[in-house]
Amino acid sequence: MIRKSILSLTLLFAMTSVALNAAPKKIDNVTAIVNDNVILEGEIESVINEVKATALKSNQELPSDRALRTQSIDRLILKSIQLQLAEKMGIQISDAHLDSAIASIAAEQKITVENLRKIVTDSGQSYERYREQLREEISISEVRRASVHRRVNISLQEVNTLISLIDKQTSKEEYQIGHILVAVDSKATQTEITSRKSVADKVINLLNEGSDFTKVAIASSSGAKALEGGDWGFMSINEMPTLFSASIKGKKKGDLIGPLRSGAGFHIIKILDVRGRQTVEVKEVKARHILIKPSIILSEEKAQSMLNKFVEDVKNNGADFGELAKEHSEDPGSALKGGELGWANPDIYDDNFKAQLGKLEVGEYSAPFRSQFGWHVVQLMENRTADATEKSKQDRAYQILYNRKFAEEVENWLREIRDQAFIEIIAE
């Protein structure tokens, strides 16, 4: 017994010695603390590498690594805050919801899910990482929708005024705009505001002297699209923030505008491109659906199974779809009308809902599918090509106003949640 004990102790000391003398393994350093979360050095390097890879493919020159690092940390801080809010709000993106979103992405690109997976892996990214990034993007989108939607108020007078302007407007142009924001703190003194104005003027001078707009935006903009080179894409005058529209109308490709002052800071705009808008006929659909929302009590699988049973009962057992919708659908706007959604442009619907409608013949039912709102089955009742009626004008005007105000409020909301968060940068 004594010999066994001594042998055990000897072995223990030997193992301890090996462990102590082993080469230390490098661990991922914590770079920032954001409320109850941390940002690791590896996450920052990953964002920087993705931006560099994208720039390399498009032969785009980038600013210094330090500028890229600052922007990457800022993006990760906002991402962390929003994901923590999603957790507090109980927003969870199930695998079924994620699968449905991926199927929609593949359908939009007119490829199969397997082909999409191959494209992702061929690019050097793991498909599992792609899925988790998409899960985070959907979570953030739902947090923004839930948090910002209630801040958007649109009056009937605003809608009617915009309809009048659209009717009078002869221009069919859309502008691709680049945006740089020189941020000003909401509590800034007049001296600080003057200093930030000076920075904005210097940015304008750099751009007038021929500096690359994308590079300058990535290096110095505080806007949400900084790492995309400030590119907001194409939009009409009416879809732009009010601050921009009056100054941009009539400008030509390459023109610089600003600095324009708002509560967020000083904005610098460049017209990256201009294109004419085509007049198209409005295609409308008339549909009805049943919505089942998963919960802690009702699983994703059970919600999907319920809808499968409803469709089977309608097709094989003579059940009435409208009565099933009245009894079971969790869409308060349509349930009392037997699930009917009325005539509408399918563009107003959730992307996956629109995609499912696009696959159906008149009278046909879809298989159960997932949207951001829950599980649906939908029936295409009729379709038509409609003229621009007063209702469609109101819908379009409302959507334009909503998109404009939502974009403005997102910027304000992001600034507010960052101001309210505990943020500590440990190392840069």
Check residue 372 and give its pLDDT. Answer: 85
- Decide which of 291 and 110 is more confident: 291
pLDDT, tens digit, for every residue of 206-217?
999 999 999 999
Domain count, the chain: 3
pLDDT greater than 50 at residue 8:
no
Q: Establish whether the linkage from the previous residue to 259 is cis, with ω within 30° of 0.
A: yes
Average pLDDT, the chain: 85
Query: What is the average per-residue pLDDT within 155-179?
Result: 80
Indicate whether 288 and 272 sit together in one domain. no
The enclosing domain of 358 has a CATH number of 3.10.50.40
Are 47 and 75 spatial neighbours (Cβ–Cβ below 8 Å)?
yes
Residue 407 lies in a domain: no
- Residue 243 belongs to domain spanning: 170-279+412-419
231 and 272 share one domain: yes
Residues 292 and 216 in one domain: no
Whether 145 and 200 map to the same domain: the answer is no
**DSSP type of residue 237:** G
For the chain, state the CA radius of gyration.
27
Spatial separation of the C-alpha atoms in residues 273 and 303, rounded to whole Å: 47
* Same structural domain, 315 and 343: yes
Q: 181, 290, 175, 177: which is closest to 237 by C-alpha?
A: 175
The answer to the question of residue 398 being in a domain is no
Last residue of a domain, one of 86, 121, 150: 150
Rounded to 5 degrees, φ, ψ at 396 are -65, -45
* 234 plus 322 within the same structural domain: no
Q: What is the pLDDT of residues 357-371, one digit of tens each?
A: 999 999 999 999 998
Contact between residue 177 and residue 240 where contact means Cβ atoms under 8 Å apart = yes
Q: Are 292 and 270 members of one domain?
A: no
pLDDT band at 351 (very low <50, low <70, confident <90, very high): confident
Q: How far is CA 219 from CA 39, 59, 61, 212, 264, in A?
A: 21, 17, 11, 11, 18
What is the distance between the alpha carbons of residues 143 and 100, in angstroms, rounded to a whole number?
Answer: 19
C-alpha pair distances (Å), 119 with each of 98, 108, 109, 348, 424 = 18, 15, 12, 29, 38
Our CA dihedral for 41, 46, 48, 50, rounded to 10 degrees, sits at 180
As beta bridge partners, residue 37 has: 34
- Please report, for residues 131, 185, 339, 395, the alpha-carbon distance to residue 117 in angstroms, rounded to integers and kept in the order given: 10, 43, 35, 37
User: What pTM value is reported for the model?
Assistant: 0.55
